[in-house]
Amino acid sequence: MKNCIIASTSTLYNSEYLEYLLPELASHFKNCKTVLFIPFARPGGITYDEYTAKAAEAFAKINITIQGIHTFENQKEAIQNAEGFFTGGGNTFLLVNQLYKNDLMNVLAEAIKGGTPYLGTSAGSNICGLTIQTTNDMPIIYPPSFQTLGIIPFNLNPHYLDADDKSKHMGETREMRINEFHAFNSAPVLGLREGSWLEVKGAKITLKGNLQARLFRQNQLAIELESGSDLSDLK
């Protein structure tokens, strides 16, 4: 049975990396001594080792060891043998490209759907949807496909920002960008605000955190969903 935390962000304003999620993660990974970290999104171009060390520092607070997938000669076997997964944020296009390049997308999806606990933040959450077409990231590299893990039957927009009526910025809002997506695509899109996450337990998908999320559906007005909302039937 699927067992996932799919979070908008790793870090809230004025807090430490993963700090706001640590109580949830202690329970989520309670049966894990080690978690396999996937650092392929490489935020800011830091090295895999540097990114893995950052994740390891946070997980040490809940007595869990982090192992970077890049340190394994056989990465498929590493996924198949993992006790748990964490895919960090960064650039979603880069992350997806590396997963396809190393032929890991399907094996990772199979492991997650088989019940291995998974944490995704930002880019690591984007890949849990149907495609990455609603990411905020620049397409700095061209992956073989936009299709991703399909852990949830809709798309995400992590770091969702509401329009600021006082701003002098004249470019498109996040809502306008998602509406552009829906001019050509029918998949629902959930805008996850900072500090919100989805809890996936088998077929049940629940919105968690203290904030509402904004749901966009093709040819419908966007609506606000309260924390605790059941999204299991969203497709």
User: pLDDT by residue (tens digit) across 133-165?
Assistant: 999 999 999 999 999 999 999 999 999 998 776
Q: Is residue 143 part of a domain?
A: yes
Q: Is residue 231 part of a domain?
A: no
Tell me, what's the pLDDT at 164? Answer: 73
Question: Which phi and psi angles does 202 have, rounded to 5°?
Answer: 60, -125
| Catalytic annotation, pick one of 10, 122, 125, 196 | 122
Q: How many domains does the chain have?
A: 1
Q: Is residue 68 part of a domain?
A: yes
| Catalytic annotation, pick one of 159, 167, 182, 230 | 159
> Does 125 qualify as catalytic in the annotation?
no
Residues of the chain where predicted confidence (pLDDT) is lower than 50:
none
> Does 182 qualify as catalytic in the annotation?
no
| Catalytic annotation, pick one of 8, 70, 125, 137 | 137
State which residues form the domain around 104.
Answer: 3-165+174-225
Q: Is residue 69 part of a domain?
A: yes
Q: Is residue 99 part of a domain?
A: yes
CATH code of 17's domain: 3.40.50.880
Q: Is residue 62 part of a domain?
A: yes
Q: Is residue 235 part of a domain?
A: no
Tell me, what's the pLDDT at 166? Answer: 73
Please give the Cα distance from 118 to 108 (Å, whole number). 10
The model's pTM is 0.96
> Does 122 qualify as catalytic in the annotation?
yes
Q: Is residue 233 part of a domain?
A: no
Give the burial string for 205-226 (b: 16+ CB within 10 Å, else e): bebbbebbbbbbeeeeeeeebe
Residues 6+ apart with CB under 8 A from 167: none
Tell me, what's the pLDDT at 163? Answer: 73
Tell me, what's the pLDDT at 156? Answer: 98
Please give the Cα distance from 121 to 22 (Å, whole number). 13
The CB-side HSE value for 153 (13 A sphere, CA atoms) comes to 9
